Structure 1
Amino acid sequence: MHLFSTGRGIEDDNQSTMPFNCFNCKGQPNISNERFVRSEQNFNNSISNDDENQSDRYVLFGNSFHKGNSLVYDIPILFKMAKKHLLSLSSVVRDQYKTFRFHDQSNCKPINFSDIRHQISEFLIFLRDSLQRMKACESYNWLMESHEKKIELELNNLYSTLGQFHHLSETIIQHALSSSDSKNNIYYHLYHCHLDIRWFQLSLLSELPKSKDTFKHSLHNALNDLVQLARNRFKKLQLKDLHFKDALLCDCTYDFLVLLQYLINKQQLLYNSDNFWQYFNTALTNVNYVDCDELIFRLWLLNSLQQSEKSTSIDLKDSGLVFILKEFLNNEPNEVQLKLSVCLLENIVISSLNTEPVIVLWEYFHKRLNSTFYSSDMKIQNIACISKNGSELLIQMNNLFSAQQTDLLSNYNSFQLFQRLLGLHLQNIKYNSKDWNQIKGRIFSKFSPSKLMSFNDIGFYNFTTLFLALSIMSDDTSQIALKYQHLVKLISESKLDPNTRSTYWKGTVAFLILHSQRNTSMTAYGTSLSDTLNTTSQEHITVYLDGLKEVFVFSESLTYGQHTLFGSWFGNYLSTIKPSENNEVLQTVILILEKLKKVGNDQSMPFPRENEIFILYDSLYTYLLPFLKKSCLTVDCGTIVADIAATFTIISSKPAFSDTKVMLFNFFVVNQGINIKLLNRYLSTIIKENVIANVHGYNSLALIKAWLHSSMLITNWTFNETMTITQFVSNISEIKELFKNSGNDLETSVDPFITFLDLLSIKYHHNQDVKFRQKMSEKVSDYFYSIKIWVNILIKQHKQNDEIYRLYMVIGYVFEKISPLIYVKGKPNTILQELLDSMLLGVNLRSPNTKMHPSVITALLSSLHRYFIGLFRLNPKTDLYIARCLRELISLYFPKILVGIKSSDELPLLKFFEEKPDNEIPERALLLELLVSTFLSKRHRTPDSSIAQVLEYINSIIKISHNNKLVILSIIQHTLTRICSVSMFCEETNICKRITNEIINTFINLSVSQSNEEIKNEVMSSLNTLCEEHLAFSSKLIFEFFDYMITISPDFVTCFLPKLVSHIEKVEWKRGIGSDFTLRKGLGRIQIKLGKI
């Protein structure tokens, strides 16, 4: 703080609370400087005419003097005492300099530097007060005339004791300003003593009528000293440091200049002399050579004089700032110098509200907009300054205006700093329409069509950011944005090169976001954009649309003309994009619709059609409807399309938008070709909003069918959404009636679709009424009428493994549970027939080259028995179509399933081979018969691989069930004859030979080793059948077969031998001969072999 006072009393050296009457910025705290500055400015008005209560004595330099006598007789003595005190200060500095150490206080009496300055100031204040009193009283004119020259001479001698101010050594200056302990710092006090003596010298000279020339000369010297001190300081600093360093050495120096300004202005009023700036500019321009560095110095010094936080400030109005700036710009400064000059001007312009420097800078920069304004001191990350999008561009500009002073020089170029200066100035003068209009006129007038066409990428970017800066920092956002559009339209956006067009659209988006942030109507701006949007390219429309999300994020209301931001171009653009989840345009649409929904929730009456909010909603629906219908039928459509459609549906159900008829429910729910994920998302969304009953086109049957579609193909991805739909469907009256008294609950079911099928099956089989069954079949046909479409869509997509697996698994349940409900014998195109044709028996699936989806094989491995159960229940023995389907199914898929089985997998159709008699598992006999008739009925010398697979399968079942007599009996009864036949006709080297022999061996051993008569009899029966079929025409193979049987079990062949003889006799009888040589010879060979054992 600067601490002053106009008088003092006698003060003890140890006291620290005395008032201070000289310059003091680091000495005593808690004493206000403002009081002293004001008192010094008014020292000529502070003399009291009432001296009655004042003492005749005055204490100076520790001695008491008579006030009147001292003026007449003691002036020389007092000046000598003052000079002695000054010399004591100088001697201390000299001694310290010589010895390179601080003053040795152990050998000398301590010197109180503050007290020395205080006593000198007391004397000079006393002298000045006395002169003022003499001037005020005519009777003392003689005394003034007799002492005036003497006092002038003594003052000059006193100042010469200190020497020239700017000749102070750098050591003194540095120590004076850097010391934190200034209470008794000789350097600090010596520097400030110069200020004390100079100020009191000038103020005293101003009181001497005949010393005007001396006063002017001393004033010039004082200002020259201060300027020279600042120039010396400038030379020692780097340019980058000037922004944060003051040209004035301390605050006291500034206060000294404030007092000088006051003193000069007072002299100007009294004597019509030069003003402060005439004196100061004379000192400032007193150099031989002027270059950019010198002009920067002048700007730096003027910036230091403009201290807006000071209560007493120096007015720069007549300082010649504009002249200095013009001269500086005419010298073509480099980028570093230019940046610094703009930073220095920022404080001056903002503090003084002076528009002229801003205009001068604009006249310089508008000719150089194509420049990159690059300098080597910029940080590498700030060189590529062009923003990626409009939002970042706006953020970049806002960051420019809020940047810290310490970041300006390193982070921004000179044009950006000019924009900052321009913006901050506009913010300060926003109520000054004259200056604002002047700036606008100067800027707008510089952009002709030819000027715009001459811009390169950087130039157009600078042009855009300039207008954005104007919009941000003024209240005329819409007007400036429209002017920007108008200027670009003069040359047509399409004529710009690609990079420039991209910048234009980024700027356009930034203007829109700014409108939104400020809740400013964008109707005029959006309307002016419509023509440009209709003709621009898709690439640039994408930039525009990506920025709209930010526009609507900041929109507190939708009544600011947002409907003008969309037009017919939007529909054309939508036809070119993919409906993916991460599409920014669709995300923006969702955001807008959510805002519209919120508005609809708060509005109880319908909007009129001319309402801006209704127009926005209606236009979005018009442009998006074709896109939604097209997208939801594509394979890779994202669920965001369903989100948009659901939100439209929800909004249309609100009273505020009840005048619209959104038919999306029919399209998403009734349309059976819809993607299942989209259906789930759409239905679950509108159900959660509790508006489905108010949706246009709603009907319960369509919803039930949609639920069946959804739950049939439920996966981990759609489970939660499907359960939401299930909870709603379970409360529909006909579904509630169906589940009444059933003990089942859809809402708690793990798999609602399977639960639904179970219930249908139970209802069907427990009720034998023909009419009830017929009615139920019709209802089921209604429910599953479109199942073929659902299946075909999923099969064609062939994408997700889990969906394919789920489809084949769940259709197996449909066959198993409700096959009588979805098939009528003799009726064409039943649901069962359509499913078989689509999934299993289509023409394309019969081709041997058809590659089957691996998930189909996996699903059939676990679910094929369900398909067979369902088909077996339709009486294949009486229905030729079902029988044919079974044969085709087993021939097409059974070998493929067997090929894909791993050792760890469970065998397919194992459900049929449980330990139960055939009458309890009728499907087992039907399956074995089907296998035999399909694979083992023909004679082959070299059976193919499918026969070997089936034989291996049967062999595996036998091994698994060797302790299960019922299963073994069933297999023997239905397959052994054909297995023996294959063994007879098969070549020895074929794998089928080995497998069949292993099976026969197993059966024979089971019948003999366990003494199981049932198995033995069943084997005998199978061999009987074998002999009946083949003995007459393939006797050689029969006898060779029995030769092999002898090697397995001679006893078993011995037991069968009578039956074999009987069969030979029947053949002989049928041939009409007494004895057949070949047959008898074969029999004899067998008998001989048995006899040898």
Structure 2
Amino acid sequence: MSGDSLTPPLSPEGNGFHFEELLEPSPPKVPKADEENGDVCFCCLGELSGKESTYHSDSYWRAGFLHRLFSSPSRCLLPATEPLSLFSHTWPCSIIQNSNIDKLFLILRQQIGELQSLAQRSRVSFVLEDTVDGQDIREQCCRFLQYVMISLQSGSVGEDNLDKVICSLHSLLLYMGRLSELPHHVIQSTSVGNKSSVSHQCLHLHLDVYWRLLSIFHQLQIKYPGYRYSRRLCVMPDNDIDSSLYDQMLHLVLWDLVGLAHLRYVNKVVNPQKTSMFSCSCVKELWLLIVKLTEWRSSNHIGESFWISLHHVIKSVIEVENQAVLTEAEDSALMLNPPDGFKTDDAVGLCLWIMYCVSPLFAQKVPGSITTEASAVSNYHDLQSLLKKLLSTSGLTEGIMRRHLKTCLLLTSNWEPNTSILITLWDFFYKRLNQNESYQSSTGTLEGLACVEQSVVSMYDRCKQWTEGHVGSLDKETSFQLFLRLLSQHVGKLYSSGSTQEWKQVKGRIYSKFHARRVQELMESGLYNLSTLFITLGMTADLEDVASKLCDFYDMLDVQSITFAKRSVVWRGAFTLMLVYVERNMDVGFLADRMMAAFDNAVSDFGAAGIDSKHLLWKLILIYIEGLQEVIETSSTLQLSEYKLICPAVHKLLTVCSEHELRSTLSMLHSVVQKFRQVRLEAGREVLSTVRCSLQHAEFGGALWRNVYSFIVDHAQTLTPPAVIADIAASFCLLSLTCPSDDRSLTFLTVFQTFASSDKVNVSISCRFLSHLLSCGEVMDKLQSDLDNYERFIISVWFRCCLYVPAGSQMLVEITRPVLQLKAVRDILQQADMSSVEDIDQAPLLFLKALEKAHIKILDWQERMAFQKQVIPYFCDVQKHIAPILRTMTPQEVVNNVYKMTGYLVKHCAKLIYVRQDVIVPSLISSLVVPHNVLNPDKPLNPVFLKVIRDHLQLFIEGLSKLPYDRDPFVQRRLRDIVNVYLPKFSMRSSSVSMTASSVTTVHPVVPRDT
């Protein structure tokens, strides 16, 4: 090239040009507002995070540049008829038509060259930042290019002068060079360093020129649609020589922006979803402007859409077709794509990241625009190509799959659904259902391990997270689980929109992959992946169809030959499906029938199994019990055939469990009983209770009474029943108020009396049972209506608890509080001048003292007899209650409490409850104080007995001393035994004991001891 070369000299003086020749003598005043609008350039807010960022008020976006670009050219920001203020001088308005327009471009390039040269030297030398005003150069460049664009927009440039202007613009582009060709420290100036540095200004100058040239070429195509420039800016895809200047410039800019993103991707990206592609707000703004301008052009049939324009770049990056073909005459004028030095080792990751970061830009509305813009524009064509490229990569690791699938998931969350990517991914994962090790991260961290859920709830919750779009656990999920998220996301949109044909296509592709042989080949992990796949589909689309199909696949397994681990997965899958059914308020009968049959077989095997098999079977049974509990807890009405799960095998299981297993099972069953009672209460408050509700609840209650309650009664009579027995018994007693058993003998009263006072029921169960129920007003009202002398009964069972439970126990406190509210107890306390009991722990002792005081205050003989008749039943069964403890003398703390409470009873109430016809006091003295082995010197005394006698003997002696021993031979003998046996043995010198002993020996001669 000769005289028309596109590469100009650095200085305008080289051509003997003096720009003073073009100056006008008196520069006119340019309006400030117009001047500022003409000087708009990129205003950097710094490096961006992964979140959205605002833009500077003077940016192209905020200043409404696009809106004016899309509008009619009737109002120009800088009228082409006015002189141009540039480079501190005023130029004639006809400069755009003057033959010396190229001289003005030379001055501009000289300014740009000075800035670029200084930026290159700034890395290796100490450069004073004020040697050149980079911001001013950028503003002057933008102002001049704005003038050129307005001149084109207004038609001020004649067609004969158009080639010269475009050639000068081309020359400017070549002189500046590619953004990708800038030194590394200049490119990095967006994220580090001073924003006023020459490196920063140099980089942003490229962004300004890129955008201004795109705007000018856009206006050129609008104003001069038939214009064809004789040269090309760059080599286009497929060597398209007919592409417009805008398309060529856009291709150049996109490649440079992709190169800029690549540098950031290589150096900074660890988590693509949390790292912005935009090194600063200006880079993001340029992408946004390009997206909006290109989409506007596409909607007005001027050019390709943005995604298609970007597709040419993505295709080249994927296929690594980096060799451009140059024509022989244009080698020096053409720019090559990709830029020199562009090479990536992760083309898929880079392109996915670019699409992920750019896609949200479509949702932003152009300032000043009144049109409603789409929230998202999809690009499944490129995404599909990227996925195929990814899945065909040799040595594909789980870590890479996770990283890219997370990007795909978030990228398509606002796009319309697409089945092609689902089918592509399914064909990949189907072959790897069994490859659990392939779903492990190479980092060796716990987050990288594939998770096979060990409970029904966790399996349900995990599938629920996928279908509801919760992203909190994304970083811990396997690639297969991320695929399930994608599947749910897209299928859910298809199904909800009524696209049944596409849903049938997806499920048909999935269903067709499984047959009997394939299902039997699945290992535990494969079976788990199959289950979660179908449960996720069921939650998303047609639940009944999917559940039925999954059960068909489960039926293909031979229960007798598959491992316990695989059986566990099947059981968890079935119960998880039940939870989904219950959530949808759908009947679970067909699933419950399958599970109760499998459970019955497992329990039968459990009863006859050896230690090793028993351990594995118990894990299986525990899944059923936990699943049963969760299904019932989740149900709000219990009208969905849940009762079928409480089958006879539940009772069978209770009879063959070990103690630890029994506690776990009973705890879960207790929650079931409580849930049913709660539902019954709520149903009772409903005015319109349906027939179905009544029938379902009758079946549920019958199953509980038959299969659970009968065991509770039997086990309550053992020596060491767990405390939960009492809890369940209390719940059954309350349940009998609203849903009694079919067995008419099991009324509320019989249940209450069985556990409250039966000698067959362990007393610890009775005490805990009463602590639950006596504080319930409904129970007390029912006892009052159904039981004669109910207060006498309650006081009797309360004192039984006082014998066994030491003072201070919370359980005894819960029993004592309602007892103190009984009318009979309040009357006794009032007669004894004890209006209130401040210390609840002392209530039993205070009650005995109150009985004594009240008895002493009664002077009338008949009233005394009536009072005795009232009180004696409170304590008539004491001997029967304490007999089991006296036989074993264990546990020691209970033995001690028995002696203490009985001693206080004798001390304060012996005279009240002792009558010649009764045997309360005599039997207590015989069994507690002077048992047979004490009188037999050949038998050693129990050390526990000796200790409690020593601690509590004085209580018995003080009580006996108040009796009329002069008229009763029994009392004489007992006191004589105490004096002859215990006083010498313990060397007791208590004044009361001595006084009593002396009284006995003085008044009554010692008679021979009974044999």
Give the TM-score normalised by structure 1: 0.68
Contact 2:363–2:376 (CA<8 Å) still a contact in 1?
no
- Post-superposition CA distance 1:119-139 (Å, at most 9, x none): 2321331343155x88xxxxx
Residue 637 to residue 242, structure 1, CA distance change in 2 (3 Å): closer
Q: Helix, strand or coil for the counterpart of 1:210?
A: coil
Q: Helix, strand or coil for the counterpart of 2:173?
A: helix
Write out aligned runs for 1:773-852 (5 A): 786-795=877-886, 798-812=889-903, 817-818=909-910, 832-833=922-923, 836=926, 841=931, 852=942
State the partner residue of 1:602: 685
CA deviation after TM superposition for structure 1 residue 394, in Å: 4.6
Matched, 1:114 2:194: no
**2:557 is matched with which residue: 468, 475, 491?**
491
Write out aligned runs for 1:139-218 (5 A): 144=159, 146-178=160-192, 181=195, 185-196=200-211, 198-200=213-215, 202-203=217-218, 206=221, 207=224, 209-211=227-229, 212=242, 215=245
Alpha-carbon separation, structure 2, partners of 1:20 and 1:859:
107
Contact 1:580–1:637 (CA<8 Å) still a contact in 2?
no
Pick which of 161-170 and 801-810 moved more. Answer: 801-810
Contact 1:306–1:347 (CA<8 Å) still a contact in 2?
no
State the partner residue of 2:109: 83
**1:698 is matched with which residue: 787, 791, 794?**
787
Residue 111 to residue 743, structure 1, CA distance change in 2 (3 Å): closer
- Post-superposition CA distance 1:772-805 (Å, at most 9, x none): 97x9998877655544431223335654433212
Write out aligned runs for 1:659-808 (5 A): 661-662=747-748, 663-691=750-778, 692-695=780-783, 698-700=787-789, 702-713=793-804, 715-716=806-807, 717=809, 718-724=811-817, 726-727=819-820, 729-731=822-824, 750-751=844-845, 754-755=848-849, 758=852, 786-795=877-886, 798-808=889-899
Paired letter, 1:674 = V
Contact 1:684–1:725 (CA<8 Å) still a contact in 2?
no
- Post-superposition CA distance 1:276-321 (Å, at most 9, x none): 3663345434625999723333333333332256427884436432
Percent identity, aligned pairs only, is 16
Matched, 1:453 2:486: no
Higher relative contact order (CA 8 A, sep 6+): 2
Alpha-carbon separation, structure 2, partners of 1:861 and 1:101:
100
State the partner residue of 1:390: 456
Residue 852 to residue 197, structure 1, CA distance change in 2 (3 Å): same
**1:637 is matched with which residue: 721, 729, 752?**
721
Contact 2:719–2:762 (CA<8 Å) still a contact in 1?
yes
Matched, 1:29 2:61: no
State the partner residue of 1:276: 309
Over alpha carbons, which structure has the higher Rg?
A: 1
Residue 556 to residue 824, structure 1, CA distance change in 2 (3 Å): same
State the partner residue of 2:291: 258
CA deviation after TM superposition for structure 1 residue 668, in Å: 2.2
Matched, 1:350 2:438: no
Contact 1:754–1:810 (CA<8 Å) still a contact in 2?
no
CA deviation after TM superposition for structure 1 residue 753, in Å: 6.3
**2:81 is matched with which residue: 56, 65, 74?**
56
Alpha-carbon separation, structure 2, partners of 1:814 and 1:88:
111
**1:246 is matched with which residue: 260, 277, 281?**
277
Q: Helix, strand or coil for the counterpart of 2:623?
A: helix
Give the TM-score normalised by structure 2: 0.73
Matched, 1:128 2:128: no
Alpha-carbon separation, structure 1, partners of 2:852 and 2:496:
80
Alpha-carbon separation, structure 2, partners of 1:818 and 1:60:
121
**2:350 is matched with which residue: 288, 291, 297?**
297
Alpha-carbon separation, structure 1, partners of 2:386 and 2:591:
41
CA RMSD of aligned residues (A): 5.2
**1:335 is matched with which residue: 388, 398, 405?**
398
Paired letter, 1:644 = I
Residue 204 to residue 308, structure 1, CA distance change in 2 (3 Å): closer
CA deviation after TM superposition for structure 1 residue 325, in Å: 0.7
Alpha-carbon separation, structure 2, partners of 1:466 and 1:273:
36
**2:993 is matched with which residue: 906, 912, 929?**
912
Write out aligned runs for 1:456-467 (5 A): 456-467=523-534
CA deviation after TM superposition for structure 1 residue 174, in Å: 0.8
Alpha-carbon separation, structure 2, partners of 1:416 and 1:283:
31
Contact 1:92–1:103 (CA<8 Å) still a contact in 2?
no
State the partner residue of 1:415: 480
Alpha-carbon separation, structure 1, partners of 2:922 and 2:304:
119
**1:530 is matched with which residue: 596, 600, 611?**
596
Residue 875 to residue 273, structure 1, CA distance change in 2 (3 Å): closer
- Post-superposition CA distance 1:568-598 (Å, at most 9, x none): 3333333345575996315524641562475
Paired letter, 2:411 = I
Q: Helix, strand or coil for the counterpart of 2:84?
A: strand
Alpha-carbon separation, structure 1, partners of 2:873 and 2:910:
14
CA deviation after TM superposition for structure 1 residue 541, in Å: 3.3
Residue 340 to residue 868, structure 1, CA distance change in 2 (3 Å): closer
Contact 2:466–2:536 (CA<8 Å) still a contact in 1?
no
Residue 611 to residue 180, structure 1, CA distance change in 2 (3 Å): farther
Contact 1:58–1:64 (CA<8 Å) still a contact in 2?
yes
Residue 41 to residue 433, structure 1, CA distance change in 2 (3 Å): farther
- Post-superposition CA distance 1:753-776 (Å, at most 9, x none): 634774797699x7878x997x99
State the partner residue of 2:610: none
State the partner residue of 1:321: 383
Contact 2:910–2:962 (CA<8 Å) still a contact in 1?
no
Paired letter, 2:421 = P
- Post-superposition CA distance 1:184-241 (Å, at most 9, x none): 8423423313423542464366445323457365555444444444444444456656
Contact 1:41–1:263 (CA<8 Å) still a contact in 2?
no
Paired letter, 2:357 = S
Alpha-carbon separation, structure 2, partners of 1:855 and 1:381:
62
Paired letter, 2:848 = I
Paired letter, 1:533 = F
Alpha-carbon separation, structure 1, partners of 2:570 and 2:189:
56
Alpha-carbon separation, structure 2, partners of 1:213 and 1:604:
77
Q: Tell me, which stretches of 5 or more residues in structure 2 are unaligned?
A: 1-27, 47-54, 230-241, 323-342, 366-374, 604-617
Alpha-carbon separation, structure 2, partners of 1:759 and 1:523:
65
Alpha-carbon separation, structure 2, partners of 1:503 and 1:557:
28
Paired letter, 1:199 = L
Residue 196 to residue 117, structure 1, CA distance change in 2 (3 Å): farther
Alpha-carbon separation, structure 2, partners of 1:384 and 1:925:
91
Contact 1:393–1:510 (CA<8 Å) still a contact in 2?
yes
Pick which of 573-582 and 373-382 moved more. Answer: 573-582
Residue 189 to residue 760, structure 1, CA distance change in 2 (3 Å): closer
Residue 706 to residue 225, structure 1, CA distance change in 2 (3 Å): closer
Matched, 1:46 2:72: yes
Alpha-carbon separation, structure 1, partners of 2:307 and 2:569:
54
